[in-house]
Each structure stands twice: as structure tokens, then as C-alpha cells.
Structure 1
Amino acid sequence: MKHIKHGLWLCLLIALIACSRLQPIENIASEPLPAGSEQLELEQIEAAIIRAGAKRGWILQAEGSGKLLGTYSPRDHMAKVRVEFDRQQFSIHYADSDNLLHEGEKIHRNYNRWVNNLRHDIIAEVAALAATGD
């Protein structure tokens, strides 16, 4: 009986640890681009987003005007996002994943960190481009 109680406690502990790694999926909707981005061509913004993602290992591929599909595959994990943008704003939405404990509207906390880093990198890359006007 004592072994059964220890086994149940161990199962509960493992379940709690697994749940603490899950968070609600954070989609980024209508994030404003930096000042000056409205003066850029859509192709320039697309190139800036692709460069921003590449800095952290994202592979972003065009899916049409103002739309990209991004894939990030560190180690044995994979996350896919859809990036939509125009000359004033952009959005990043969950598309797919492997080995990230995806359950309904929850996912491993690393996913949100990766997407948030991508968000910051896009803003910085577009800001630099808008500042130089290249």
C-alpha cells in the first residue's frame, strides 16, 4: 500500500511539472510597425521580416502578398506560424507544431518565447530599415 501511495504522488508531481510548462498560445494581432514603415514598399517590409527571422533560425517563406509561413526547428521541436503584414502593422498566429505539448489552446512555454523574440526582431529590423530608407 505504501508503494502505491508513493507511485500516486510521483504521478501527481510529474503531471504538475508537465502542466507548468504549458501556457495559453499567444498570438500577436495587429502589432504596429515602427514610424516610417508606411513609406516602405511591401517587398521591403517582407525582406526585413525574413531577415529578422533568419537571425534566430526562423525560415520564412512567402505565401502571397503580405503573407509568410515561418518555421522554427530547434533540436527535436518544430513550430510554424503565419505572419501577415502591411505597411502599418503585422500579426503572428500559431499554425502548427511538433514536440511542443500542444493541447487545444495551450502549448509549451518556449513557443511563446520564440514568437515574442520574433516579434521584437521584426520591429527592430523594420525600424532600422525605416531609419535608413533603404
Structure 2
Amino acid sequence: MSYLLRVTLIALALLTTVSCSSKRMLTPDRTLHPSIHADRAQMQQAIVKSLVGRGWTVQKITPERVQAQITVREQFHAEIDIPYSATHYQIIYRNSSGLDYKDGKIHKNYIRWVRLLDRDIVRDLKDNQNERTAQQLSEAAAK
């Protein structure tokens, strides 16, 4: 294989790798399904439990917002805000380092962290709903 062809193939491979590491920013904006009944405290608890379970550090909790950050391998750092109500929450990017944020794009690791966090929050709310339903059925059967 000629030298020029090798260099061209290596350059293309590097460009492909670099372009795949940044993805369009993910900002989950979730309204709960009507079958999931939660109050503000239960929503806050599900958010905090999911953050801690995923290795995020909770920085601040108010009745309307949770702020958190994560640092992975002392190289990647991200900060988020999660405004919430009893029926809705959003995961909003606040700041980062080492994740190449630029022009609405960010490293795919951040996207994965946020997607998993979103999934865990919904799962926790569904599990709590199922527990409440089971308890109500048990109480009704005991009467």
C-alpha cells in the first residue's frame, strides 16, 4: 500500500473517531404519564435517589430545583439543574469541563449519563407507584 494512501486512510479514521465523540445536547423534558401519581416530595426523592445511585453529587436542593455534578476519572466533569414539579421534570446542562461542549454539542459520555439518569428517575417513580397500588390493594382486601 502506498504511503499516501495509508496517510489518507489514517486521517479519515481519525476524523471519523473525532466526529463520533460529540453528539447533539440531550435535555430530557419529561411529563409523567397520567398513571403515575406523585407529589412534589416523591418527585424530589426519585430525582435525588437516582442521582446518588448514578454517582452524581447533589449540590443543592430546593422545592423547585435540584442541582448536581459528576466528576469521572478526574477528567470529565458535568453540572446540571433539574427543575421539577409533581408531574414534570427537566435535566438541563449547566456547565462542564473535559466534555468538549461547543455549539450545542457535547461528548457522548454526557449524553449517556443524562439518558441513564432520566431512565432511573422514571423507573423509581413507577416502582413507587406500584408499591402504593399494592399497599392500597392489601389494605382494601384486609377490610
Fold equivalence (TM over 0.5): yes
Name the counterpart of 1:107.
106
Q: Which runs of 5+ in 1 are unaligned?
A: none
- What is the CA–CA distance in structure 2 between the aligned matches of 1:82 and 1:33, rounded to whole Å? 18
Name the counterpart of 1:119.
118
TM-score by length of 2: 0.76
Asked if the contact 1:84/1:91 (under 8 Å) is kept, the reply is yes
- What is the CA–CA distance in structure 1 between the aligned matches of 2:8 and 2:98, rounded to whole Å? 26
Name which of structure 1's ranges 83-92 and 56-65 shifts more when overlaid on structure 2: 56-65
Q: CA deviation at 1:96?
A: 0.8
Higher RCO, Cα 8 Å, sep 6+: 1
Question: Matches of residues 68-83 of structure 1 in structure 2 within 5 Å?
Answer: 68-75=66-73, 76-83=75-82
Matched length:
130
Question: Matches of residues 87-102 of structure 1 in structure 2 within 5 Å?
Answer: 87-102=86-101
Q: Which runs of 5+ in 2 are unaligned?
A: 136-143
TM-score by length of 1: 0.81
Q: CA deviation at 1:80?
A: 1.1
Matched-pair identity in %: 20
SS in 1 for 2:72: coil
* Superposition RMSD in Å: 2.4
Name the counterpart of 2:57.
59
Structure with max Cα Rg: 2
Question: Matches of residues 2-13 of structure 1 in structure 2 within 5 Å?
Answer: 10=10, 13=13
